[in-house]
A and B are shown apart, each in its own frame.
Chain A
Amino acid sequence: MIAAVHSATLTGTTGRPVVVEVHDSGGLPGFTIVGLPDTAVRESRDRVRAALLSSTFGWPQRRMTVNLAPTAVRKAGAGLDLPIALGVLAAVGDLAAKALEGVAFIGELGLDGSVRHVPGTIALAEAVRGQRLVVPECDLAEAAAVRPNRTFGVRSLHTLVEILRGSHPWPHAPVTNGALGRSSERADRDGNGSPAAAEQRAWLERAVACYGDLEEVKGQRVGRRAVEVAAAGGHHLLLVGPPGSGKTMLARRLVGLLPPLARPEALEVTRIHSSAGLSAREGGLVWDPPFRAPHHGASAVSLVGGGTASMRPGEISLASHGVLFLDEMGEFPVAVLDALRQPLEEGVVRVSRAKGTADFPARFLLAGAMNPCPCGEGGAPGSCRCSPAARARYVRRLSGPLLDRFDLVVPLRRTTPDELLSPAPGEPTSAVAARVGAARRLARTRGVRCNSELRASMLSAVAPLDSGAAELLERSVRAGRLSGRGVDRVRRVARTIADLDVARAGGGEGAVAVRGGASVVKQEHVAEALALRAGREVLDVGG
């Protein structure tokens, strides 16, 4: 007899539908799985046998063949355990084949017959065919985020078979839990509803608890302003300063300034995190912008993704819609840093291996930190004791094209003892985040998510310069402080600074939108944008 069960498998962060066919015949007893299974799938034979036996079903002493179709796709992970077990039951006649029609199953089996968590449930749930979907109970919230109707969570194989046999009713789908309720409100929020404000507050609390408050950063006015501009405009940020200048502190607090994710972003981030086996905070979706800080020993594969047949997403994809922080950038291997260039350009990383190709989203805010030179003191003129050759070698690790991606290259100096011991707190994250949010809303009126995405052709329309600003830009180019390519970057940053200026002036959101949408970029905005780029002079890489 033949049985067919619908399920799905994961390649990278995308699910693909899979049909599990089980054939039962006489002959020498045996159990074979064909159709490009990986090790975890091949081992499911033993899990399925034990789970069936513990769930009071028998193990057929017959020749069983399991085929995973389509055969050309590699099958990875233990999520096919449950459909294989059900297929075996149907093939030997313990379960009516009709009961499996139109239902898809995802789940790993424990030896005791329990149904366990499967990574990448959200992507699998998007991919499966069938009107109903059965997932492990712990993954229900995640699956229901993309299939809110007729998705069911089960805890054990035994219960599930009872339901399929009709002796138990289908459980009530608890699709109205907290996370999903929020998400449906989010779907149609337009930015000024109170639920959004409540979410913003909740995210701020979590961010401050997790990454610290900006007010804890003593002194460092330039650095604090730099993270504000980076968050508001989505500008990649490189902090250049001696050890002990608070580079790491600042970069960690950058993520708290970002607004919580919108639903499409949250879906994408959840898909990536779930595929990588990271679970969301409370099931459901990941609403918080992620913060990833790989150590400089990281390999190129761990950063951009790849690995074995299962194609795990890399750190840059895990940082999607959040912050990727590379501390001690000068210590990363050159090849690893250069692997970042294409994803930075396109927002997507395509990983190709002999066994398959996967596209991972990689739209992240890159925050880097490095010393100005090997001795660390090179920030202040005349302080460095490194030989010019050693300095050049150190800076060369960051290729020119990679350095060009940083709109903000900010020189930091060491905090003085007076500043460290000063009791006066700086501006708290909440106040800065409010300005960042206002500036981001202004950017959205221009048709982009943030100002760093403004195309060069749009700049003269959306970032008009007043006469002082134009004169300053021209003088900087003539003095060799700024290259042609640098001009557009400075204009984008100046646009963000002007937006923050409008946000600082306050007033209701309507007033901000009216004043800010196409306000003129003034001389001081360009001047500040230039100052937030002065780190290039520290690194001696030109304008």
Chain B
Amino acid sequence: MTPSAAPTGAAAPTGAAPPSGAAPPTGAAPPTGAAPSDLPEKAYAVALASVPGVGPKTLRRLLDGTVPHAAWEELVTGSARVRASLTTESARNDARKIDVAHVWATHVQAGVGVCILGEPGYPAALRADPEAPAVLFSLGSPRVVDGAPRVAIVGTRSATRYGLGVAAQLGADLAAAGVVVVSGLALGIDGAAHEGALAAWRAASGGKEPAAHAAAASITAGPSGPEVAASFPTPRAAPPVAVVAGGVTAPYPRQHSGLWRRVAEAGAVLSEAPIGVADVAWRFPARNRIIAALSDVVVVVESHSRGGSFHTVEAATARSVPVGAVPGSIRSPASAGTNALLADGCFMVRDLSDVLVALGLRLAAADPGSWPAPPSAQAADDLPSPTREVVGAVAWDRTSLEEILEQTGLPMDTVCGALERLQARGVVRGEAGWWERG
């Protein structure tokens, strides 16, 4: 065993490598073999993760107790240990087709950071998790997850306006209070939470005053708070973190490519998948376990009964991570899952302070004004006649135009005219034929 040489040659340009990738590889060099010896250990870790038949568990087994280079050699040559952990020959055949230098160069050129479990640079928050990814890929700075409390905001992709609004508000408030918002960059709740957190982060870091309520809130460690609370610094807005299923340079869904880039610039986009893997379905629930493992608290904003968010909830429960849920209308299918979680004993999330309490933090100066107070119901009484009846027929959760017509008995043009006037004044809001107050 001889210490490996520093990376040289075109395959690993040290100048272009990201900070984490440029660190000199540790561990032992290959014993003997045909593979080029001028690649860093991380290159072999990336190559191992790129083999189609090697999932997170196999990857951990392969890298357990050995350096990536040695593990790669074992995989390609088919040693006894590898044979025990791989059931098919296909993974070995696939591995033989992989050009390690090329795969490594692709990652270096794309500016993707690579962290290996157990080595410096790997997020401390994940290190102790039993299912932590053996190799973590990142865009941005993966270190942002350490040193601040982390809250996952998750939920359905087909969210209502209510859910989107709550997710954005919660994301903004948490980020402004210095809590790292973790989510999955999916459509719906995930995207809204990231947008909210980004807005708060930008307001704070752009030289402007952070959101007023966050500045007013002074957070101190609670008496019985977890370890992380004790080390919590003065409130400063925290950047958002996304954990995605596919490669970090392949935005999915495409509608979120702009948001993806902004999250990576402000905070980090993390994944256990290397560049170029297919977006296969199993990666999405597998990604949810990383979100749960990273987070101190998981908040489900809206979820259908047995929706995809339940993968995150199960992973969080298995790790004893507290799960909170935002209550919703019992008539809204998008809140069926969250309401069921509340019935099962999850803590209720109505505003920022509910989450901070669960984190073991508390707001010294509670700021009830941070969430828009529901418009007073009496305001409707001063309205002129047809408008008053119409506003009375619009419920606080979604009401179809059909129901409003049914309840008021007025002609459709009168009702629509009144609804549009109310919308202009911000009393009701309408979308796709459904109306709601506020």
* Chain B associates with chain A: yes
A interface residue numbers (CB < 8 A to B): 219-222, 225, 377-389, 411, 413, 419, 472, 475, 497, 501, 504, 522-528, 530-531, 534-535, 537-538
With A219-B402, A523-B421 given, is the CB distance from A382 to B416 under 8 Å? no
CA separation between A472 and B416, bound complex, in Å?
Answer: 12
Asked whether, in the complex, the Cβ of B163 is within 8 Å of the Cβ of A531, the reply is no
Interface residues of B (CB under 8 A from A): 156-161, 163, 187, 253, 302, 304, 332-335, 398, 400-402, 405-406, 411-414, 416-421, 424, 430-434
Is A525 a contact partner of B434 (Cβ separation < 8 A)?
Answer: no
Contact status A222-B401, CB under 8 Å: yes
Picked from A377, A378, A527, A535, the residue with its CB within 8 Å of the CB of B416 is A527
Contact A221 B406 (CB under 8 A): yes
CB neighbours of A387 from chain B (8 A)? 157
- Chain B contacts for A386, CB-based, 8 A: 158
Docked complex Cα distance between A357 and B433 (Å): 45
3 cross-chain pairs, A with B, having the tightest CB-CB distances, nearest first: A524-B417, A382-B334, A411-B433
9 CB contacts below 8 A, A to B, read: A222-B402, A377-B333, A381-B432, A382-B332, A382-B333, A383-B333, A388-B253, A475-B424, A531-B412
Chain B hits for A538, CB < 8 A:
432-433
| Residues B414 and A221 in contact, CB atoms below 8 Å apart | no
Q: Closest Cβ of chain B: how far from A477's Cβ, in Å?
A: 14
> A222-B405, A475-B424 known; A381 and B434 CB under 8 Å?
yes
A497 touches B413 (CB 8 A): yes
Q: Is the CB of B402 within 8 A of A381?
A: no
If A381-B432, A497-B413, A530-B416 touch, does A221 touch B161 (CB 8 Å cutoff)? no
Kindly state the separation between the CA atoms of A377 and B302 in the bound complex, as whole angstroms: 17
Q: Most A CB atoms within 10 A — which of B332, B401, B424, B432?
A: B432
Complex Cα–Cα for A531 and B416 (A): 7
Residues from chain A with a CB closer than 8 A to the CB of B411 are: 504
Chain B residue at minimal CB-CB distance from A504: B411
Distance to closest chain A CB from B406 (angstroms): 7
The CA of A525 and the CA of B416, in the complex, are separated in Å by 8
Whole-angstrom distance between the alpha carbons of A537 and B253 in the complex? 20
Closest to B430 in A: A534
**Given A222-B433, A384-B158, also A527-B402 (CB < 8 A):** no
Give every chain B residue within 8 A of A535 (Cβ-Cβ).
432-433
B412 contacts across to A, CB distance below 8 A: 221-222, 225, 528, 531
Closest A residue, CB atoms, query B331:
A380
B413's partner among A220, A379, A382, A525 (CB-CB below 8 A) is: A525
Query: Which among A501, A526, A534 has the greatest number of chain B C-beta atoms within 10 A?
Result: A534
Whether A380 contacts B416 in the complex (CB less than 8 A), given A388-B157, A388-B187, A537-B431, comes out as no
Question: In the bound complex, do residue A524 and residue B163 qualify as a contact, i.e. CB atoms below 8 Å apart?
Answer: no
Q: Is the interface of A mostly helix, strand, loop or mixed?
A: helix
Given contacts A222-B412, A382-B333, 20 further A-B contacts (CB under 8 A): A219-B402, A220-B402, A222-B405, A379-B432, A381-B159, A381-B432, A382-B156, A382-B159, A382-B163, A384-B158, A413-B400, A504-B411, A523-B420, A523-B421, A527-B416, A528-B412, A530-B420, A531-B419, A534-B431, A534-B432
Given contacts A220-B402, A381-B398, A382-B332, is CB(A537)–CB(B432) below 8 Å?
A: yes
CA distance A527 to B415 in the complex (A): 9
Asked if A524 contacts B416 (CB within 8 A), the reply is yes
Tell me which residues across on chain A come within 8 A of B157, comparing CB atoms: 387-388
A451 CB to closest chain B CB, in angstroms?
15
B302 near A382 (CB under 8 angstroms)? Answer: yes
Q: Determine the distance from Cα of A388 to Cα of B413 in the docked complex, in whole angstroms.
A: 33
Residue of B nearest to A225 (CB): B412
Q: Which of B160, B187, B332, B433 contacts A531 (CB 8 A)?
A: B433
Question: What's the least CB distance linking A475 to chain B, in Å?
Answer: 6
Question: What chain B residues lie within 8 Å of A380 (beta carbons)?
Answer: 333, 398, 400, 434
**Chain B residues whose C-beta falls within 8 Å of the C-beta of A526 in the assembled complex:** 420
The complex places the Cα of A467 from the Cα of B437 at a distance, in Å, of: 26
Q: How far is the CA of A378 from the CA of B412 in the complex (A)?
A: 23
CB distance from A106 to the nearest CB of B (A): 52
Give B406's nearest chain A residue, CB to CB: A221
B163 proximity list for chain A (CB < 8 A): 382
**Quick one: given A221-B405, A221-B406, A523-B421, are A534 and B433 in contact (CB under 8 Å)?**
yes
Please measure, in the bound complex, the distance between the C-alpha atom of A384 and the C-alpha atom of B187, giving whole angstroms: 13
Which residue of the partner chain, among A219, A381, A501, contacts B161 with CB atoms under 8 Å? A381
Q: Shortest Cβ distance from A369 into chain B, in angstroms?
A: 16
A527 to B159, CA, bound (A): 26
Q: Compute how far the CA of A497 lies from the CA of B417 in the bound complex, rounded to whole angstroms.
A: 12
> Nearest residue in B to A224 (C-beta to C-beta)?
B412
CA distance A380 to B334 in the complex (A): 10
Given the known interface contacts A379-B432, A411-B433, A530-B420, the answer about A385 and B402 at a Cβ–Cβ threshold of 8 Å is no
Q: Which residue of A lies closest to B158 (CB)?
A: A384
Which residue on B lies nearest to A540, using beta carbons? B432
Chain B residues, CB < 8 A from A411:
432-433
- Taking a contact as CB atoms closer than 8 A, the residue among B158, B159, B398, B424 that contacts A385 in the complex is B158
CA distance A467 to B224 in the complex (A): 62
Task: Check A527 against B433 for contact (C-beta < 8 Å).
Answer: no
Cα distance, A379 to B158, chains bound together (Å): 11
Residues of chain B within 8 A of A475, CB atoms compared: 424
Given contacts A380-B398, A381-B398, A535-B432, contact A528 B158 (CB under 8 A): no
Residues of A within 8 A of B402 (CB): 219-222, 413
Nearest CB on B from A482, distance (A)? 12
From B329, which residue of chain A is reached at the shortest CB distance? A382
- When distances are taken between beta carbons in the complex, the residues of chain B under 8 Å from A497 are 413
Chain A neighbourhood of B156, CB < 8 A: 382
Query: Which of B187, B406, B417, B419 has its CB near the most chain A CB atoms (within 10 A)?
Result: B417
Q: Which residue of the partner chain, among B334, B406, B417, contacts A522 with CB atoms under 8 Å?
A: B417
Measured between beta carbons, the chain A residues less than 8 angstroms from B333 are 377, 380, 382-383
Complex Cα distance A379/B402, Å? 13
Residue of A nearest to B159 (CB): A382
Complex alpha-carbon distance, A526 and B416, angstroms: 9
Cα distance, A411 to B160, chains bound together (Å): 17
Q: Chain A's nearest CB lies how many Å from the CB of B435?
A: 10
Q: Are B413 and A524 in contact (CB under 8 A)?
A: yes
Q: Complex Cα distance A46/B420, Å?
A: 73
Report the separation of the CA atoms of residues A377 and B431 in the bound assembly, to the nearest whole angstrom: 16
- Provide the residues of chain A in CB contact with B253, threshold 8 Å: 388-389
Which residues on the A side are within 8 Å of B161 (C-beta)? 381
Listed residue (A385, A419, A528, A538) with the most chain B CB atoms within 10 angstroms of its CB: A528
Q: Give CA–CA (A527, B414) in the complex, Å.
A: 9
- Chain A residues with Cβ under 8 A from B160's Cβ? 381-382
Within the complex, the shortest CB–CB distance from A387 to chain B, in Å, comes to: 8
A380 to chain B, nearest CB (A): 6
A413 vs B334: C-alpha distance in the bound complex, in angstroms?
17
Query: With a CB–CB cut-off of 8 A, which chain A residues contact B420?
Result: 472, 523-524, 526-527, 530
A533 to chain B, nearest CB (A): 10
C-alpha spacing A404/B336, complex, angstroms: 36
B-chain residues with CB within 8 Å of residue A221 when the two chains form the complex: 402, 405-406, 412
- Least CB distance from A304 to B in Å reads 32
Residues of B within 8 A of A531 (CB): 401, 412, 416, 419, 433
Q: How far is the CA of A408 from the CA of B154 in the complex (A)?
A: 36
Among B400, B417, B430, contact of A528 (Cβ-Cβ < 8 Å): B417
Q: Using Cβ atoms and an 8 Å threshold, which residues of chain B touch A222?
A: 401-402, 405, 412, 433
Tell me the bound Cα distance from A419 to B405 in angstroms.
13
A379 to B431 CA separation, bound complex (whole angstroms): 11
Taking the closest CB of chain B, its distance from the CB of A27, in whole angstroms, is: 78
Expressed in whole angstroms, the Cα–Cα distance for A225 and B419 within the complex equals 17
Q: Answer whether A381 and B431 are a contact pair too, CB < 8 Å, given A220-B402, A388-B187, A475-B424.
A: yes
**A382, B304: Cα distance in complex, Å:** 8
CB distance from B107 to the nearest CB of A (A): 27
B300 vs chain A, min Cβ distance (A) = 14
Collect the chain B residues with CB atoms within 8 Å of residue A419's CB. Answer: 406
Rounded to whole angstroms, the CA-CA distance of A497 and B415 in the bound complex is 13
The docked-state distance in angstroms from the alpha carbon of A377 to that of B334 is 12
A241 CA / B400 CA spacing, docked (Å):
12
